[in-house]
Structure 1
Amino acid sequence: MSQSRLLSTADGGPASPPPSNFWQWLAFGTLPQAPSLAFVVHHQSSGCLSNIFAPSTSSSTSPSDQLGFRCSFGQLLDAVERFATILYAKGLREGHVVASFIGNDRSVEWALLLWASWRVGAVFAPVEPGLLGRSTELREVCKLLNPKVVVLNNSTDMRSWMENDMGDENKVIRLTCGENIDNDGNKWSSIAHLTCQLNCSSSPPLPVSGPTQPALIMFTSGTTSTPKGCRLTFANIHAEIAGHRAFASSSWSSAARFLVTTSVFRPLCYLGCLSSWTAGGSVIFTASTFDPTAVVEGVKAERATHLMMVPTQLHALINEFVQQQHSLEHELLFVTSAGDVSERELISNARQVLKPRRFVPHWGATEGSPLFGFSVIENTSASLPMLESGATGIGRALPGTKAKICLANESPPTLVPRGTRGELHVSSPALIQGYLGGVSSSSFYEDAQVNWFRTGDWAVMNDEGVVYVVGRIKDTIKCKGIGLFPPVIEGYLKDFFGIQATVVGVPDIEYGEKPVAILISMPPKIADEVDGHPTKTRLSSSNHTKSKGTEAIRRAMIRCVSDHLGTEYMLGAIYTLEELGLDDWPLNISGKLDKNMLRHCVVNKAMGSG
């Protein structure tokens, strides 16, 4: 992409205003859909929380109606009123925090807690359950939250909580999704055993739920540090929902059936659920953890229309479709890949195999999203705009979004020309104004009375205003003072050797850092130069043993990378996953590639071979 004299800045125009009362907008908006299906949970029983949810009055005999827990909007609103009354009687008030340490195995409880928290006017904080086993992080997170209600899964989690001495228990409403627990006077009440009359005198007043009132606290994945808390207001959430509806042909309506694939404590879950619920559509949970087979079965049984997945999940789903030769009797309306960069091949395969009416390669952050999207004409074309490197355009600024691309790590920010790589800075009513506790305050700043967020992502804006996110700044490798860009090496290895590679920087005494490539497996071919163009030639098995052949391929790849990209891109080493003692790419709790784990394995391998 050639550089332009235009600067990398864009404005998506005004956003739609938030409702004056979010709870009324959410609850009253679903009243016309009272008989309609609100959500389904295949892996929990039909009698789950029968003390709170009234039994279904539906006479439907559809086969899918026999799968697990099913709930209409009318049942959901009644259950929410009943549960909110219980919580209010126990002392929960507007502005208090409800901290939930449960996963997708408790999807019914998660949905109930989300709605009931907002019915009271409380702040819902879904937290990764694994944090219960990480004492330092748990204490820091709970100090930030100061929860009034704590919800755990079972007695094992309760013991972890008690062993960490998490403050004055007498001030906390303690709930469990398992049985009632009384451990040396420390009582945890089972949600399944709570009872209350719907019309009891302690019924909570309708919440104010004003636009600036905190509604939800999400935590970043915390792969390199303690998770950062993102406190979203009702205005933020409304802007996020509006952003998803701004995608052309997103088809959020009462006919939408959103199938959840991500964890309930990650943004894609609540964004998809709320986008569907606020349109009168339904939500489908198929398994306690991501399982591509269960996803396919759920899509077929429930005629799911919407999927929002991270790239690793989408790749696994495509493989499931291809290997098992699945086909659908209905059309997927809206499929998006978010949470990480979507490669050209993944997008092509998703369109070819899943055949959705609309596929969206999406960029977003826990701090607030979506901020970018495409128009109808671009969306219905055969392909989306892409850079020469293969990076996919994530769209133009949506209404309410302002974007600019600046020189990285400079203050005050300096805009770069369009077509030039820099750090993506964004402003939007969907974005938080800062992290809980004031941590990483430099990520947020004000310029000309506009609040901006430094995303930490490398990005490029073309002359048409399309933004391309091409990598994380923190992944830049500092080699002899030169910043090396891993996607450049990864893209070269993909294009000329046809292999998937991940490049990480590892410490080096002489160079500071050296790039190391990790491959799924060694290719059976090496690249030679013929008239300045790479060609692939197979190593002769008669002239090389397997080990010698592998080493020859390794040396050839290192030489080719250096010859084509420059000597500064000289790889320090190339390893396969097997050589690092790994069966597959390591993923973090968000389903993203865990580069820290790869870096750790490379360092251990180098020390062992030294």
Structure 2
Amino acid sequence: MTEGTIPAALERAAERFAAREALVDGEVRLTYAELARRVRQAARFFEGHERVGICSPNTWHWVVAGLGALYAGATLIPVNTRFTARETIDVLERAKVSALAITGTFLGTDRLAELGSSRPGTVLRIPVEGAEVPFDGVSEWDALTGLDSDFVSPAKPDDVSDILFTSGTTGRSKGAMSSHRQALSVAEAWGECGGLTEEDRYLVINPFFHSFGYKAGILAAILRGATILPQRTFEVRETLHLVEAERITVLPGAPTIYQVLLDAPERGNHDLSSLRLAVTGAATVPVALVERMRTELGFDTVLTAYGLTEAVVATMSRPEDDANLVAHFSGRATAGFEVKLGEYGEVLLRGPNVMLGYLDDPDATAEAIDTEGWLHTGDVGVLNERGYLRIVDRIKDMYVCKGFNVYPAEIEQALGWLDGVAESAVIGVPDAVYGEAGKAYIRLRPGAEVSTADVLAHCKANLANYKLPRYIEFVAELPRNLSGKVLKRVLREENG
């Protein structure tokens, strides 16, 4: 078996950590040796297929099927479980998927049935919500147990290991291609920065179809021998229970996950003392949130990181960084990346782990990666004298008020300092006087009482006049994609 591939990394883990728990999901508890055997059986099922899709929530089946596809030498195509049937079919057809592992009923919808005649010729059904009605031409999960596990992977380091489709928050999703060598490199960098070891028990809430759950989750754990504990969807009571019952040590996620945990009335009834590492990241990570994660959730280490589908992990904090640095910056370059700022302060990335390109879209690839190899991220950033990166905002989110450029993330950071504010999202809206003005959507913490006047007075004390939001709207929830990103596009559409 060729070194530098994901299958080789799994076999190495099976040798080094054979008897240690690799994967725990409810009553299913697989050692690394058992995980490798089951992955080889899945590889036998997918043998001969060039591209394999997987559409399932975070379960042990996803790990086995996904690694099985890679072990078979196929390119893995993770599919967002919240996609509509039309969106799923679009991805499957564009990626020319010939085999698909897919859940039946999940969250009340039979995703397999919705595909109808558009499903690929080879389908493996993943059981998530109990017994399913038999489907003609569809293999059930139990069929894998009888397959031969004596399989040698044909994968090579520079083969395309996966095609991850972007979240589509700004339009039609694009498929970012990476190789085995790149996938392992970014996963190893993440594991090294976080100090991940075989003693860690890693609760993976970030969806496996996203690079945060797949590469910084599954692959990082395999490289370090950590135990993977998938959670199907984020439900705060279940998360609290799992942390206590399974002695979770590593719990990465979007900032909103930690905010919900902090606000949960049941939190005080659970022993969370096992937690040691949190890794988060977004345009806005309030300083107050980082402080509360340390003092109230008990994390020894809170790190921030910056990445995107096209680069996965570009910068990351280090455990020795002080709290102030972690709160204000997203770390420094990792995984072989160079970082610099281009026009308008746009963050540019270059290095061996920039994606290979977008699937069947040379124009979009050329637009994203210039002739010198720099990936244009669309994010606005600041670099300090030590090379630490702070993300200011998305270029597309910037608006112009009274002739001044305004970056919503700066306003959101300030709002995070106001007691009672759980989170906010700011957009620019048309204004007859200012051209564009800020509108702040604010979600309050449970039981908090904050008025519009309170918000405006706080902003006036902390922001220049042209940055003050002119409109305030309190909301119960903010629109998000499954990765936890706020969909500002939806908010803009509401305002015409």
Q: Name the residue aligned to 1:113.
A: 65
Q: Name the residue aligned to 2:38.
A: 79
1:398: how far off? 2.3
RMSD: 3.0
For the pair 1:259 / 2:203, whether they are aligned, the reply is yes
Amino acid in the other structure paired with 1:290: F
For the pair 1:144 / 2:94, whether they are aligned, the reply is yes
For the pair 1:440 / 2:364, whether they are aligned, the reply is yes
* Alpha-carbon separation, structure 1, partners of 2:414 and 2:335: 36
* Alpha-carbon separation, structure 2, partners of 1:342 and 1:187: 48
* Alpha-carbon separation, structure 1, partners of 2:375 and 2:470: 35
* Alpha-carbon separation, structure 1, partners of 2:268 and 2:256: 18
Amino acid in the other structure paired with 1:111: V
Amino acid in the other structure paired with 2:314: L
Q: Secondary structure at the match of 2:331?
A: strand
* Alpha-carbon separation, structure 1, partners of 2:75 and 2:23: 22
- 1:440-519 counterparts in 2 under 5 A? 440-441=364-365, 442-447=367-372, 451-479=373-401, 482-495=404-417, 499=421, 500-508=423-431, 513-519=436-442
Amino acid in the other structure paired with 1:153: T
- 1:12-91 counterparts in 2 under 5 A? 19-42=3-26, 68-88=27-47
1:197: how far off? 4.4
For structure 1, the residue ranges without an aligned partner over 5 or more in a row are: 1-17, 43-67, 409-421, 526-549, 578-582, 604-610
- The structure-2 alpha-carbon separation of the partners of 1:112 and 1:245, relative to structure 1 and needing over 3 Å to count, comes to closer
Q: Name the residue aligned to 2:276.
A: 333
Q: CA-to-partner distance for each residue in 1:456-478, whole Å, 9 max, x for gaps?
A: 11110112222111211111113
Q: Name the residue aligned to 1:598.
A: 491
Q: Name the residue aligned to 2:157.
A: 211
* Alpha-carbon separation, structure 2, partners of 1:313 and 1:160: 30
1:320: how far off? 3.1
* Alpha-carbon separation, structure 2, partners of 1:392 and 1:338: 11
Deviates more, 1:338-347 or 1:311-320: 338-347
For the pair 1:404 / 2:353, whether they are aligned, the reply is no
Assess if the C-alpha contact under 8 Å between 1:367 and 1:432 holds in 2.
yes
Assess if the C-alpha contact under 8 Å between 1:433 and 1:444 holds in 2.
no
Amino acid in the other structure paired with 1:73: Y
- The structure-2 alpha-carbon separation of the partners of 1:503 and 1:20, relative to structure 1 and needing over 3 Å to count, comes to closer
Q: Name the residue aligned to 1:371.
A: 314
Q: Name the residue aligned to 1:46.
A: none
Amino acid in the other structure paired with 1:428: G
- 1:56-455 counterparts in 2 under 5 A? 68-88=27-47, 92-93=48-49, 96-104=50-58, 107-133=59-85, 135=86, 137-154=87-104, 156-162=110-116, 166=118, 169=120, 172-178=121-127, 179=132, 181-182=134-135, 187-194=137-144, 196-198=146-148, 204-207=151-154, 209-247=155-193, 250-270=194-214, 271-285=216-230, 287-320=231-264, 323-330=267-274, 332-375=275-318, 377-378=320-321, 381=322, 383-385=323-325, 392-398=328-334, 400-408=336-344, 422-438=345-361, 440-441=364-365, 442-447=367-372, 451-455=373-377
Assess if the C-alpha contact under 8 Å between 2:438 and 2:467 holds in 1.
yes
1:341: how far off? 3.2
Amino acid in the other structure paired with 2:491: L
Q: Secondary structure at the match of 2:84?
A: helix
Assess if the C-alpha contact under 8 Å between 1:236 and 1:368 holds in 2.
no
Report how many aligned residue pairs link the two structures. 481
Assess if the C-alpha contact under 8 Å between 1:562 and 1:571 holds in 2.
no
- The structure-2 alpha-carbon separation of the partners of 1:108 and 1:180, relative to structure 1 and needing over 3 Å to count, comes to farther
* Alpha-carbon separation, structure 2, partners of 1:110 and 1:206: 19
Q: Secondary structure at the match of 2:37?
A: helix
* Alpha-carbon separation, structure 2, partners of 1:212 and 1:596: 36
1:284: how far off? 0.9
1:427: how far off? 1.4
Amino acid in the other structure paired with 1:433: L
- The structure-2 alpha-carbon separation of the partners of 1:392 and 1:321, relative to structure 1 and needing over 3 Å to count, comes to farther
Q: CA-to-partner distance for each residue in 1:48-104, whole Å, 9 max, x for gaps?
A: xxxxxxxxxxxxxxxxxxxx211112221222222222332xxx34xx111112112
Q: Secondary structure at the match of 1:131?
A: coil
Q: Secondary structure at the match of 1:307?
A: coil
* Alpha-carbon separation, structure 2, partners of 1:259 and 1:563: 37
Assess if the C-alpha contact under 8 Å between 2:304 and 2:317 holds in 1.
no
Deviates more, 1:72-81 or 1:26-35: 26-35
* Alpha-carbon separation, structure 1, partners of 2:303 and 2:236: 20
Amino acid in the other structure paired with 1:423: E
* Alpha-carbon separation, structure 2, partners of 1:122 and 1:436: 15
* Alpha-carbon separation, structure 1, partners of 2:380 and 2:187: 26
* Alpha-carbon separation, structure 2, partners of 1:141 and 1:348: 41
Q: CA-to-partner distance for each residue in 1:187-219, whole Å, 9 max, x for gaps?
A: 2222224563427xxx65431x22211112222
TM-score using structure 2 length: 0.87
Deviates more, 1:152-161 or 1:108-117: 152-161
1:602: how far off? 4.5
Assess if the C-alpha contact under 8 Å between 2:339 and 2:349 holds in 1.
yes
1:292: how far off? 2.0
Assess if the C-alpha contact under 8 Å between 1:425 and 1:455 holds in 2.
yes
* Alpha-carbon separation, structure 2, partners of 1:290 and 1:196: 33
Structure number with the bigger relative contact order (C-alpha 8 A, sep ≥ 6) is: 1
TM-score using structure 1 length: 0.72
Amino acid in the other structure paired with 1:124: L
* Alpha-carbon separation, structure 2, partners of 1:262 and 1:180: 30
- The structure-2 alpha-carbon separation of the partners of 1:160 and 1:458, relative to structure 1 and needing over 3 Å to count, comes to same
Q: Secondary structure at the match of 2:478?
A: coil
* Alpha-carbon separation, structure 1, partners of 2:139 and 2:37: 21
Q: Name the residue aligned to 1:574.
A: 472
Assess if the C-alpha contact under 8 Å between 1:176 and 1:191 holds in 2.
yes
* Alpha-carbon separation, structure 1, partners of 2:457 and 2:298: 39
- The structure-2 alpha-carbon separation of the partners of 1:481 and 1:139, relative to structure 1 and needing over 3 Å to count, comes to farther
1:573: how far off? 2.1
Amino acid in the other structure paired with 1:453: L
For structure 2, the residue ranges without an aligned partner over 5 or more in a row are: none
